[in-house]
Chain A
Amino acid sequence: MQLSLKGIIPVPLREKVNAYQSGLWKTNLTINQGEYLFVQAPSGTGKTTLIHILYGLRKDYEGQVNWADTNFTGSDTETVAGLRTNGISVIFQDMRLFPELTALENIEIKRRLTNTVTTEQAQEWLDRLGLRDKKNSMAATLSYGEQQRVAIVRALLQPFEWLLMDEPFSHLDHANTAKAIALISEVVQERNAGMILADLDENNFFPYTKTLML
């Protein structure tokens, strides 16, 4: 599934974008499935906005986002929901777990949507990221780092052609970051998917095929 962006300008950033002629905003861009795109930008320049626009959470922008032949900009909620279930997955910067559910329930509520992986597989991924003893803890009681690892596993449970990541390792130490990168790389390669990672600083978490500045 190819991603094409046509002159995207978030409405709240319109003045700033017009003034500084940013690297990604306003341009036309096509990214093929399987490519790894790194979007580097300092705080406040629209990394999260970009991820949210690509995931269909925001509509307050000019231009057009196309996932394959689907004009995401004008799609109805069911089409967007279909893409979110089977085409695009996301790791939110703010994790967005259900605080009233346990870590395992947060995983299961997503996994049950598609049954792409088994419960055992999902639990094994949680184990790999060091959450063996936290599976039955309420999400609200987990640390940010633990929540971030649950959010990473949750994003990998569904079938996807694109994985969007918004500062996915911001709360993880080096060891856990390495484990998470290994798991993500494995699943993304297995699915032959592409990825877009937005982060503050230059990094070599993944072998990026494109790097863009905002």
Chain B
Amino acid sequence: MSNDLQKNMLKKLLLRTSHKSRLWAALAALFIGTTLLLLSVMIWWNFSELLYGKSQNDTLGSTFMIIGKKVTEQNMGVANATVFSQNEIDSLKLAPQVQDVGLISSNHFPIYATLGGRLAFATDMVLEAVPDKFLDKMPAEWAWEPGSRNLPIIVSSQFLDIYNYVFAPSQGLPQLSQASVKNIALTMKVGSGENTEVFIARVVGFSDRIGSVLAPQSFIDYGNKKFSKPGDKQSTSQIMLKAKDPSDVQFGKYLDKHDYTTNSQNMRWSKIRAIVEVVTSATGILALLLMGIGTLVFILFIELTIARAQHSLTLLLQIGYGPRYLSRFMIGRFLPMVLGTVIAAMIVTILGQAAASVLVQKQSLILPLVPGWPVWAALAVSTGILVMLVSRSISGAIKKQ
């Protein structure tokens, strides 16, 4: 006779129960609880990824923001009223939540850009530069050295949107993709009078973080040194900040206290994040509650099954079966149910993550196809606790015999 027969005999003796509905109810509660727990962790993590993940392009929000001094009735027309002093810059570095401070510099010299062909235009231009570490994208061509005639520039994504959805339709001009814009060469005449140079500028990237046209810092420094008016003092009126959590109350108070303005979009997303955290936390608590109830009912079901099999269990112990052997048998019967439930919950979560990834892709956002590590960690911890509770309840109930 095979081992299966022995297991079948033990099953016949030990696993008699007429309360299958309780078992299904317990497993259903466990499944719903585990699924909700994993989904709430998944949602929380996905939202964090969308807001602060390295793979994002700041479409949804950012810890990066540009601040400036408010223009008020009082300081209108006052020279250097919106310029940051060195003390203010140093103070910003110590402000709550601030992780990094980058000075935005702009051209203090004339730039005149022209474009031929069907899209012909000519305009004065302003260029800005930020330290490279504050860029949301770092194109491979992002470098300029004195002597080079080719100038890489990064344009705000909003510019292209305004062109494609507002300007082009109203003027009967063709709409442009990002790739086609990168093929356009702008002629830039820099300087004035005898002191001029001509550069060919090409768009090498689009920024969601900065709302202007960026040139490499080396170009702005070169131009300001060579083409600005003698005695022109370079000043900083815009600063880029990297904040750990822009929704922090102390951070907001600091900005208000110093009359600094910022991109309110970032703050708004941060508040939404706070709301998502509350909702996911509430769902998580509900999930834990459901899991707790499911586990409790499941353990009660096990204890009831063992109590019903008390006579057989006692006899088995009397004919030489050890408590450990019987515990292992019972655990081997009940644990797969728990693990099956957890695996089913994980499958739902994986499918949910894949669906979320596909959905946000349509909004030009990036989410991984598989759940992130916090979901796996939650799965591991909850499974570990479940396995431990079930194993201990079985061993404890058998030892009582």
Q: Assess the A96–B315 pair: CB atoms within 8 A.
A: yes
**Which of chain A's residues has its CB closest to B323's CB?**
A77
Q: Does A167 contact B (CB under 8 A)?
A: no
B322-A81 in contact (CB<8A): yes
Which residues of B in the span 25-56 have a Cβ within 8 Å of any Cβ on A?
A: none
Give A101's nearest chain B residue, CB to CB. B9
Report yes or no: B13 in contact with A100, Cβ–Cβ below 8 A. yes
Q: In angstroms, how far is the closest chain A Cβ from the Cβ of B206? A: 70
A100 CA / B9 CA spacing, docked (Å): 9
A112 to B5 alpha-carbon distance, docked (Å) = 10
- Closest Cβ of chain B to A125, distance in Å, is 16
- The contact string, 1 if C-beta is below 8 Å from chain B, for chain A 94-130, is 0010101100010011101110000100000000000
Q: Name A98's contact: one of B1, B3, B315 (CB within 8 Å).
A: B315
Chain A interface, number of residues (Cβ within 8 angstroms) = 22
Q: Is A73 an interface residue (CB 8 A)?
A: no
Q: Which residues in A have their C-beta under 8 angstroms from that of B5?
A: 108, 112
The interface size of chain B toward A, counting residues with CB under 8 Å, comes to 21
Find chain A residues with CB under 8 A from B312 CB.
Answer: 98, 100
Check: A57 CB closer than 8 A to any chain B CB: yes
Chain A residue nearest to B312 in the complex (CB): A98
Q: Is the CB of A108 within 8 A of B9?
A: yes
CA distance A58 to B74 in the complex (A): 97
Binary interface encoding of chain A residues 171-202 relative to chain B, with 1 for a CB under 8 A from any of its CBs, else 0: 00000000000000000000000000000000
- Measured between alpha carbons, how far is A112 from B10 in the docked complex, in Å? 11
User: How many CB-defined contacts (below 8 Å) exist between A and B?
Assistant: 57
CB proximity to B under 8 Å, residues A36-94:
55, 57, 77-78, 81-82, 84-85
Flag whether B320 is at the interface (Cβ < 8 A).
yes
Residues of chain B with a CB closer than 8 A to A112's CB: 1, 3, 5-6
Q: Find chain A residues with CB under 8 A from B1 CB.
A: 108, 112, 119
> Would A109 and B320 count as touching, CB distance under 8 A?
no
Q: Is A154 an interface residue (CB 8 A)?
A: yes
* Contacting residues, chain B, for A113 (C-beta < 8 A): 319-321
Q: Name the residue in A57, A112, A158 with the highest tally of chain B Cβ atoms < 10 Å from its Cβ.
A: A112
Contacts of B271 in A (CB 8 A): none
In the assembled complex, the Cα of A183 lies from the Cα of B6 at a distance in Å of 26
User: Do A108 and B324 have beta carbons less than 8 Å apart?
Assistant: no
Please give the distance in Å from A161's CB to the nearest CB on chain B: 14
Min C-beta distance of B321 to chain A, whole Å: 7
User: Would you call the interface of chain A mostly helix, strand, loop, or mixed?
Assistant: helix
- How many angstroms between the C-alpha atoms of A100 and B322 in the bound complex? 21
B399 contacts chain A at the CB level, 8 A cutoff: yes
Q: Report the bound CA distance from A92 to B252 in whole Å.
A: 82
A82 contacts across to B, CB distance below 8 A: 322
Question: What B residues does A96 contact at CB under 8 A?
Answer: 315, 318-319
Alpha-carbon gap, A158 to B9, bound state (A): 18
Task: List, in ascending order, chain A residues with CB within 8 A of B13's CB.
Answer: 98, 100-101, 109
User: Do A109 and B6 have beta carbons less than 8 Å apart?
Assistant: yes
CB-CB nearest in chain B for A79: B322
A114 CA to B12 CA, complexed, in Å: 20
A78 CB to nearest chain B CB (Å): 5
Would you call B9 and A84 a contact (CB within 8 A)? no
Give 1 or 0 for each of B291-333: 1 = CB within 8 Å of chain A CB.
0000000000000000000001001111111111100000000
**Nearest Cβ on chain B to A99's Cβ, whole angstroms:** 9
Interface residues of B in 258-303 (CB under 8 A from A): none
Q: Which one, A77, A78, A84, A100, contacts B319 given CB within 8 A?
A: A84
A109 to B320, CA, bound (A): 10
- The residue of chain B having its C-beta at the shortest distance from the C-beta of A81 within the complex is B322
Cα separation A101 to B8 with both chains bound (whole Å): 11
B322 touches A85 (CB 8 A): yes
CB A113 to nearest CB in B, in angstroms, measures: 5
In whole Å, how far is B401's beta carbon from the nearest beta carbon of chain A? 9
Of B315, B319, B323, B325, the most chain A CB neighbours within 10 A belong to: B319
Bound Cα distance A1, B185 (Å): 100
Chain A hits for B320, CB < 8 A: 81, 84-85, 110, 113-114, 158
Interface 1/0 per residue, A138-169 and B, CB below 8 Å = 00000000000000001000100000000000
Which of A78, A82, A98 has the largest number of chain B CB atoms within 10 A? A98
Q: Which residues of B contact A108 (CB under 8 A)?
A: 1, 5-6, 9
- Listed by A's residue number, 23 A-B pairs whose Cβ atoms lie within 8 Å are A55-B318, A77-B323, A78-B322, A78-B324, A81-B317, A81-B320, A84-B318, A84-B320, A85-B322, A98-B13, A98-B312, A100-B12, A101-B9, A105-B9, A108-B1, A108-B9, A109-B9, A109-B10, A110-B319, A112-B5, A112-B6, A119-B1, A154-B319
In the complex, besides A108-B1, A109-B6, A114-B320, 13 extra interface pairs with C-beta distance below 8 angstroms are: A78-B322, A81-B320, A81-B321, A81-B322, A82-B322, A84-B318, A84-B320, A96-B315, A96-B318, A96-B319, A100-B12, A112-B1, A158-B320
B interface with A by C-beta (< 8 Å): 1, 3, 5-6, 9-10, 12-13, 312, 315-325, 399
The 4 closest A-B pairs by CB, nearest first: A81-B322, A85-B320, A84-B320, A112-B6
